[in-house]
Amino acid sequence: MSKTTPATAFLRRSNIPFETLSYDYDPSADRLGVHAAAAMGEPEDRVFKTLMTEVDGAAVCVVIPVARELSMKKLATAAGGKSARMMKPADAERVTGFKVGGISPFGRRKATPTILAREALEQPYIVTNGGARGVQVKLTPADALTAMNGVPGDVLAPLN
């Protein structure tokens, strides 16, 4: 797929190697990220979702595996704050320049601190949103961290 988005244009300008993947976006899917992983034939632990949050009122981008949940307490600690919450969808769209369901950690309108779940570092590659619904990018965790100007962090809720 050759669709250019602000995220893929950013990766190209930054000389970050990546592969573009696509799938049929289904807004009615219960868990969009899990649906995307299945539609692309990728393991759920290699497909990551982008969440926009607020830590002590400041925007923080968090990238975690699609089948896992974010721990707000761990996020607050990882970001050096006291409390964390999910950002409202309209605010996330305004801050990132992307539509919900297509928010990418790359090429966002406003740079914000970014945390990549440390579990990503255990993978040979990760797949994350490429800046549009149904568009994903595949790259190494090291390249992802560089491109998102992020840090790895312990942010996942425990498995049940």
Report yes or no on 46 lying in a domain. Answer: yes
Would the pTM count as exceeding 0.85? yes
Report yes or no on 131 lying in a domain. Answer: yes
Report yes or no on 160 lying in a domain. Answer: no
Element (H, E) at 83: none
Tens digit of each residue's pLDDT (9 = 90 or more) over 54-101: 999 999 999 999 999 999 999 999 999 999 999 999 999 999 999 999
Report yes or no on 158 lying in a domain. Answer: no
CA pair distance 69, 1, nearest whole angstrom? 30
Which token pair is 31?
């868990």
Report yes or no on 45 lying in a domain. Answer: yes
Structural domain containing residue 14: 7-153
Q: Does 8 or 27 have the greater pLDDT score?
A: 8
Report yes or no on 48 lying in a domain. Answer: yes
User: Would you state the pLDDT for residue 2?
Assistant: 55
Give how many domains the chain has, as a whole number.
1
Report yes or no on 2 lying in a domain. Answer: no
